[in-house]
Structure formats: C-alpha cells, structure tokens
Amino acid sequence: MNSIIHIDWNTGRLFGPQVQHSEKKLKELAHIFHDQTAFSALPGDDVIYRVDSFKPVTAGTEGGLFWGTTFLEPGKVGDEYFMTAGHFHHVRNRAEYYAVIEGEGALLLMDESGKTHAEAMQKGSINYIPGYMAHRAVNTGNVPLVFVASWPSDAGYDYETIAHDGFSALMVERDGKPALIERSRA
Ligand code: M6P
Ligand code: ZN
C-alpha cells in the first residue's frame, strides 16, 4: 500500500489519493449548543468544520496511527463559540495529539467523572490529549482554527456519551472575551 501523502503546512490541507474529506454542517450539531433559539435562527446547511484525514490502515487496527487536519470556522451560536462535536475514544485509554497551524481557540478536556478544563490552542501549540479524556476544539478567534491531529487507529469514537450528557462546561463570550462556564442542568 502507498503510505505517503502531503501536507501544505501553511494551510493544513492534505493531498494524495488516500486523503478522505468530510464536513460537519450546523444542523448535524444541533444537540451540542446550549442556546436552541439562537441555533434555530442560523442556516443549518452552513459548514462548521471540515476534516481532511489519512487512514493508512483499517480503523480498529492495533498499533497503527491516523492523521487529520480540522478546519473549524469562526462564529457563535448565541454566545457560544463554534466547536467540534467532541468525543471520548471508544478504547478509553487511547491518547491523541492536536497541533495548531492557524487561529486561536480552546481545547476542552473532560474526564470520565464529568470534570472539564480548557487548554489554550494557538498557532504552534501542541496539545497532548491523554487517554480517558473527552476532547472538543472551540474556535474563539475571528479566523478558522486549523489543527492537525494524530491518534491510534484502534481508538475509535464514542460520540454517544457526549451526545447524551454533553460537556460539563461551555466556552462562551463574556465581555468580549472567551470564558469557560459551568453548564446549568435544567
Ligand atoms: C480531529 C480528530 C478526529 C476527529 C476530528 C473532528 O481531526 O480528533 O479524530 O474526527 O478532529 O472532531 P469530532 O470527531 O469530535 O467531530
Ligand atoms: Zn480523538
């Protein structure tokens, strides 16, 4: 198997016959934003993020690695910044790297007990995501947040836990600045 692709380090785009492209529209992220009234007023077909990915082995293979670039648009739903869906790894102990090419934002990390903290993401930062931590990127800037990621090919995704319980904290704009606030559980 041909196992080489190319990256443009200025834009983060990946090139090569094996590169896969996916996109996430606002309407596919309905459950993750806290202000459902603001959400309904926005065009659901807007693409919030795109992912270029390189999966040189079959998903589930132990010992392999995947690579991807995520392009997360700037914007907000009400006062909450655009963000990725976020996930735990299906194989909980699997770790991951996020490394920022452009833009600024935050990486939300939540442990299995539901405790969330945020780390800065900015051009040049390399964020290590330990196993057992759900992870979600948030774009708090005015330009796309572009980051590369690498993760084990057998990590898999658990989106259900996040879809059901959410993250315990939200990244919202307060007085023109990003602030991490505890989510109110109505
Ligand atoms: C990164 C990696 C991918 C992930 C993508 C989008 O590129 O973590 O595995 O799919 O971000 O994030 P999510 O899957 O949470 O929508
Ligand atoms: Zn992951």
pLDDT in tens, 40-76: 999 999 999 999 999 999 999 999 999 999 999 999 9
Give 146 Cα–ligand 1 centroid separation in angstroms.
12
β-pairing, 169-174 with 177-182? antiparallel
- Give the ligand 1 atom nearest the CA of 68: 7
Which residue, judged by its Cα, is nearest atom 10 of ligand 1? 51
Is the pLDDT at 186 greater than 60? The verdict is no
pLDDT of residue 185: 60
DSSP assignment of 133-168 equals -EEEEEE-SSS-EEEEEEEETT---B-HHHHHH--S
Q: Is the pLDDT of residue 16 over 70?
A: yes
Residue 1: pLDDT over 70: no
Residue spans of the domains in the chain: they are 6-182
Could you say which DSSP state residue 29 is in?
Answer: G
Ligand nearest the Cα of residue 66 is 1
Distance CA 51, CA 54 (A): 10
What is the pLDDT at residue 31? 86
Distance from residue 88's CA to the centre of ligand 2 (Å): 7
Cβ(87) – ligand 1 distance below 6 Å: yes
Q: Tens of pLDDT along 135-180?
A: 999 999 999 999 999 999 999 999 999 988 899 999 999 999 999 9
The two tokens of residue 18 are 């094996």
What pLDDT does residue 184 have? 75
pLDDT in tens, 99-121: 999 999 999 999 999 999 999 99
* Alpha carbon distances (Å) from 83 to 18, 73, 74, 109, 149: 26, 8, 9, 13, 15
pLDDT score, position 173: 98
- The CATH code for residues 6-182 is 2.60.120.10
